[in-house]
Structure 1
Amino acid sequence: MNMLFKITDAVKVFLASGRSLGALSEKGASVASTLILHNCRHYIPVLGTIIDAGANQGQFAIAANHFYPGAHIHSFEPLPEVFSILQRNTSRLNSISTYNMALGNSSGTLEFYSNAYSHASSALHVSALQKNMLPKTAISHQIETPVQRLDDLHHKILFTSPVLLKMDVQGFEKEVLKGAINSLPQIDYLLFETSFVQMYDGEPLFDEMHDFVKELGFEFIAPVGFLQSEKLQILQMDLLYKRKNI
């Protein structure tokens, strides 16, 4: 019965977003990303550039291409095997450029935890709390991956306004922002996932991230997605911010 409800919800989300039911079967299709972007479009009617940090298999980029067909999307994914899937899933879409690297606050290499559940892969170690609540995240191994500061990539990326920086980097969002300080005047919107409980060792939680983003000159717009535990506790939330005075 739970599976039936999930399928029904997925159909409702795709229909409400204007996407065809056939899109559900496309490689890289994601109900979660479709819902988040459907919600974002209420506040952001058009985008020229999307920086997609933590692209995974292209779920967000593919949905973003539907909602913002005029935007060029730059998708960053550090795991080599996942990056290969990202390339395959997005190869038909000329508006998506892909990069096999992480974004952070340094340029060089980064010690990274590749998780058996690829969505949980991070530069930070999965916490005991997350392993207990989501056992599928318990297995990971450490690798070395390329990392770049967004500030060092201006020769590759043209910031065509309005610009959205989306971060789904599992607790590493603050480091991505530290590496983008000089780029922030060109970034109009931030979309990132933040935690209310410690999902990764050492990650900054909601209060710290909210205060940090405000100090950078952004103001909160709305929550556009969330993750709940089986006991309905909100663990993480996707938050949308805009640069002040735009």
Structure 2
Amino acid sequence: MLNDFEHELMEYFTDKLFRLHEAATLISCYAADWTSRLKLINIYRSLSKHETYDHPISLNLKIQGHTYPFCMRLSDIFILGEILFEQQYSMKSRLPEAPTIIDAGGNVGISALWFAGHYPQANLHIFEPASDNLAYLKKNARFWPGARIFETALGRRGGEVVLHMGKFGGMHSLMKNALAKGSAEKVVRVGTLADHMAEFKINKIDLLKLDIEGSELDVLIGLGNRINDVSVIVGEVHEAIIDPEDFFSYLREGGFKVLWTRRFHGSKEQQVHGFEAVNVA
């Protein structure tokens, strides 16, 4: 049986090997040119230098044969790895050729990049309330023909709400959780998906992606009866903030079947897991 030191040492080397595999995959499979490959190499070399995490990075990335310019902060490499290397939004469900996709929690646009590459004809509505993320998201979305950005949060009712600013852009949350403890706060607009569907005459959402740092259940409640008009939901459940049993019970009561739940790298420590659910009602 391993002692504490041996256990920590094993975790350290396991993480290093994981990052090496992640880096090799991003460099060999997703970087579209040598300049982008060299930039990715330099990013991984800089991961121990936290003072560089806000540095802007410009890459050319290829998704499903499509090449897109992409801007992000150095710290966003972790989200890039989650979505491109771990393929957190690779689904069992099949979507139509030109799906309507709601990206709740757009961040700088890495999930939207994945969807744009796999579904280039998608009608893509991206929700992101944080100004630091929006600056990058707006630059990136110029290259996705079907994308529209909405500078608002999603929840169970419309109005205004306090956004707690996390250490990194992917940690901002409407919930006052441990990740955002002691952080700055910003008042942002919040709306419901039911109102959004009515305003934009959306009859059906083919895919709802949720990565909103603990507000997942609020977004579902904000759909009301329009949850019946959602085909597939994929995303993350933040166990430290909401009860997974409550979340999945709500889905099942709404006519959804959970196809899978799983952990990704580091998600056990972060108390997060991914899922995919399909409407079978």
TM-score, normalised relative to structure 2: 0.71
Which stretches of structure 1, 4 residues or longer, exceed 6 Å deviation after superposition? Answer: none
Change (3 A) 1:14 1:92: closer
Counterpart check, 1:43 vs 2:87: no
Q: 1:177 aligns with which of 204, 220, 236?
A: 220
Aligned mates of 1:170, 1:78 — CA distance in 2: 13
1:188 aligned partner, one-letter code: S
Report the secondary structure of 1:26's partner residue.
strand
Structure 1 residues without counterparts, runs of 5 or longer:
131-136
The equivalent residue for 2:11 is none
In the TM superposition, 1:107-146 aligns within 5 A as 107-127=158-178, 130=179, 140-146=183-189
Aligned partner of 2:82 in structure 1 is 32
- Separation of aligned partners in 1, 2:212 and 2:177: 12
Q: In the alignment, is the contact (CA less than 8 A) between 2:63 and 2:114 conserved in 1?
A: no
CA RMSD of aligned residues (A): 2.8
Residue 217 of structure 1 corresponds to which residue in structure 2? Answer: 255
- For 1:36, the aligned partner's letter is Q
The structure with the largest helix share of the pair is 2
User: In 2, distance between residues paired with 1:160 and 1:71?
Assistant: 15
Residue 148 of structure 1 corresponds to 191
C-alpha separation in 2, matches of 1:54 and 1:90 = 14
Question: Which residue is 1:191 aligned to?
Answer: 234
Q: Which has the higher contact order (CA 8 A, sep 6+)?
A: 1
CA displacement at 1:151 relative to structure 2: 1.1
Q: Return 5+ residue gaps in structure 2 as ranges.
A: 1-15, 32-61
Other-structure match for 1:76: 127
DSSP 3-state at the match of 1:170 = coil
TM-score by length of 1: 0.80
1:84/1:158 CA distance change after superposition, 3 Å: farther
Measure, in 2, the Cα distance between the counterparts of 1:234 and 1:50.
27
Task: Name the aligned partner's letter for residue 88 of structure 2.
Answer: I
Distance 1:158 1:85 in 2: 28
Matches within 5 A, 1:79-94: 79-94=130-145
Q: 1:12 to 1:242 in 2, by over 3 A?
A: farther
1:166 has 2:217 as partner: no
Aligned positions, number: 226
Q: Residues 84-115 of structure 1, C-alpha deviation per residue, up to 9 Å, x if partnerless?
A: 22111111212110000001111111111022
| 1:8 equivalenced with 2:51 (yes/no) | no
- C-alpha distance in 1 between matches for 2:116 and 2:203: 15
Which of 255, 258, 271 aligns to 1:235? It is 271
1-side partners of 2:220 and 2:155: how far apart?
7
